[in-house]
Amino acid sequence: MENWKIKKNVLLSIMELSKSSFPNEFSGMLVGDKDKKLIDDIYIIPATQNHRNSSSIRLDLVPMSFSIIGTVHSHPSGSAHPSRADLNFFQSKSVNIITNYPFGLKDFKVYDNSGNDIFLEII
Catalytic site residues?
25
Rounded distance between C-alpha atoms, residue 67 and residue 96, angstroms: 14
- Nearest Cα neighbor of 93 from 59, 123, 121 is 59
Classified as helix, coil or strand, 4 is: strand
Rounded distance between C-alpha atoms, residue 121 and residue 118, angstroms: 10
